[in-house]
Every structure is written in C-alpha cells, then in structure tokens.
Amino acid sequence: MATELPTTDIRISADTIRRRKGGTPIVCLTAYTYPIARLLDDHVDLLLVGDSVAMVLHGHKTTLGASLEMMIAHGQAVMRGSAKACVVVDMPAGSYEESAAQAVASARRIVDETGCQAVKLEGGVDMAHQIAAIVAAGIPVMGHIGLLPQSVEKDGGYRIKGRTDENVAALFGDAQAVESAGAFSVVIEGTVETVAADITRRIAIPTIGIGASGDCDGQILVIDDMVGLTVDRVAKFVKEYADLRSVISRAAEHYAAEVRSRTFPGPDHVFSATKRGDDA
Ligand code: KIV
C-alpha cells in the first residue's frame, strides 16, 4: 500500500472535471514521476499517469510494455508529488480486456494502492461493459477513443482515425458507448479535426484532445514531448514548449569538461576539516 498520500480534500475530482464540459478548457498533461508532478501540479487540472511511461521512461517500443505494477509505482510517485490535480492512472494492456471482473479487480488495485482519482482505459463499444462495471464499483473512468496506442501493432501502425465514413460512424458509436457506460470524460486521440469537434458537440462529457481538435473540452500532451525531452521523432500534433534536450546535453558537456580538467569539484563543493555549518 502507498504511504504518506497527501490529503485529497483540495484535489480536483473526476466529477469536477465532468462538470467543466463546455467551459474553460481543461488543461491536462501526463506525469510519471514525483518531481515532474510537483512542477506541474500548480498549472494543470489533470495529471495522467499514462501507459506511455513504458515508452517514454522505460524505452519500450510500444505502450504494451507497461504492467500493472509499473503503473501503480508511477501512480504513487505522482500522487506524492501533487496535491491539487485530478490524477488519472492508465490501465495497462492485459489488465482489463478479458472481463468486467478482471477490469474491476485491476481498477480497484490501482485506486487502493495509489489513491488516484480515476483510471483510464482504451476502447469504445468493445469496452463499454468494462467501463460500466468499474463505474458501478465506484471508480471514475476516463475513456480513450480514436487512435489507440495499445492497438497499434494490431492496426499496423499509428493511423489517424476518421478518414472514412465507416470509421467516422464507428467513432461516434464509441464516443456514445463510453458516455452511456458512465465515463466522466474521454480522450480523443489522432482523429480528424472536424470529427473530433463534432463528437465534442454531440456528447455530454468533456472530450480531451491529443492530435484531435482545438474545439475539444480540454487538451493533453505527453510531458516529455511538450518540454522537448523526447529523443526520437515526435508526432505532428506535438508542440514543443521548451528544448530540454539541448539544456541537458549542454549541461552534461560542461560537467564532463570540468571533471576532465579538474575544475569540478571546486572549493564550494568540498568540505574542509575545520569549517563548521557547511554540512551537505
Ligand atoms: O498514455 C498516454 O500518455 C496517453 C495519452 C497520450 C492520452 O494515453
């Protein structure tokens, strides 16, 4: 069990997010670690402990590398580092698809062991049963439709959704199924702009866009993409608000030069035998 969880009375609840449909856009980012959660908490409404952590922090090729244990460990870190944001933890592939009972057991474990406000899972019509069961167990659920990272191997790659009439109809069906199953919000990923905007107008729960539409009720990006830490190619929908790759690379270059030239450590970074009050 997680220890030292912060008090939850000032946290934004899943229900508060639901009630923000059509209002000021909902600001969401992924977070996987304690320091990043601390830095983001003042600025966002919602932190998603996405299963993208498997790729971003653990170097897996797809999100299929995430496990329940991995998600719980990162969920605990993000809860320790935040006090205000609504924290949503992703359900990893293999933890919910089999049955409603499996989905409820996994969601219950995530919430009990992290103290997070909600879970997220991928799928629409095909996962409505699981969403309804988790909601009936008292756990808020965020849906995820459109491009589904857990299905990219099955789909033959990262394919944008909503480009055929058949696919548009399927997306509307998914959005409605997620809403009817009781989800408090839904992520729409990698979907044609006009389709995502139309879904946003037609359903009563907030839509959170990523590679979707500026008309969605909120937006989400992967934190490492947003701050320019991602070393591989980033998707077209990513806007880099900082270039931390260069900052880290320059810092490492500077440090290496100072170590090699014995400039570091200097007098300020070592302890003398006589001076008091300079404990680390
Ligand atoms: O895992 C993740 O980071 C996500 C976002 C892309 C929405 O699901």
Kindly report, residue by residue over 152-189, the tens digit of the pLDDT.
999 988 999 999 999 999 999 999 999 999 999 999 99
Taking the C-alpha atoms of residue 93 and residue 79, their distance in angstroms, rounded to an integer, is 22
Pocket test for ligand 1, best of 145, 147, 220 (most atoms within 8 A of CB): 220
Per-residue confidence at 1, pLDDT binned at 50, 70, 90?
Answer: very low
Residue 4, domain member (yes or no):
no
Question: Was 95 annotated as part of a binding site?
Answer: no
Residue 146 near residue 171 (C-beta atoms within 8 A): yes
CATH number of the domain that residue 191 is part of: 3.20.20.60
For 70-91, give one letter per residue: b (16+ CB within 10 A) or e: bbbbbbbbbbbbbbebbbbbbb
Question: CB of 210 closer than 6 A to ligand 1?
Answer: yes
| Those residues with Cβ within 8 angstroms of residue 65's Cβ, 6 or more apart along the chain or in another chain | 54, 55, 58
Residue 115, domain member (yes or no):
yes
Residue 163, domain member (yes or no):
yes
Per-residue confidence at 233, pLDDT binned at 50, 70, 90?
Answer: confident
DSSP H or E segment with residue 26: strand 26-30
Residue 46, domain member (yes or no):
yes
Residue 1, domain member (yes or no):
no
Residue 5, domain member (yes or no):
no
pTM: predicted TM-score of the whole model, two decimal places: 0.95
The residues facing 46 across adjacent strands are 28, 86
Which residue range(s) make up the domain with 44?
14-243
Q: Is the pLDDT of residue 8 over 80?
A: no
Question: CB of 207 closer than 6 A to ligand 1?
Answer: no
**C-alpha atoms less than 13 angstroms from C-alpha of 76 in its C-beta half-sphere:** 13
Taking the C-alpha atoms of residue 168 and residue 163, their distance in angstroms, rounded to an integer, is 7
> For 64-115, what is each residue's pLDDT tens digit?
999 999 999 999 999 999 999 999 999 999 999 999 999 999 999 999 999 9
Question: CB of 185 closer than 6 A to ligand 1?
Answer: no
Residue 258, domain member (yes or no):
no
Residue 179, domain member (yes or no):
yes
Active-site residue flag, 189 = yes
Ligand 1 centre and the CA of 259: distance in Å? Answer: 39
Q: In this structure, what token pair is assigned to residue 46?
A: 């919602």
Burial of 235: CB neighbours in 10 Å, binned 0-12, 13-18, 19+: middle
Number of domains in the chain: 1
Q: Is the pLDDT of residue 7 over 90?
A: no
Radius of gyration of the chain (CA): 21
